[in-house]
Amino acid sequence: MPRSINDLIAAHYEPLSCRRKILAAHARVSIRTAENWLARICEPQACSLKNIAENNPEFCADLIAWLQQDAK
């Protein structure tokens, strides 16, 4: 399981050829912000995570599992 939220984001978006652009569109943020998340410079805010989850069902499922695992 990913150790941080940025690891979880990277697991879903780093394999994509247009990862920065797709992540930015899913999160409704700038491409630079998406780059910072993928570079693990900063973490997304809750509203951005919600946007990603709404646009990426696989990420949503993994996010829920990650949060539940972290709560144990």
Residue corresponding to tokens 């996010």 = 63
pLDDT of 70 strictly over 70: no
What is the domain-level CATH number for residue 67?
1.10.260
State the total domains in the chain: 1
- Tell me the H-state helices in the chain: 5-13, 19-27, 31-38, 46-55, 57-71
Give the tokens for residue 22.
């797709």
d(CA 8, CA 52): 11
Tell me which residue range forms the domain holding 42.
5-71
pTM comes to: 0.91
pLDDT of 1 strictly over 70: no
pLDDT of 71 strictly over 80: no
CB atoms within 10 A of CB 8: 20
Mean pLDDT along residues 25-44 = 97
Angle of the 31-38 helix axis to the 19-27 helix axis, nearest 10: 110
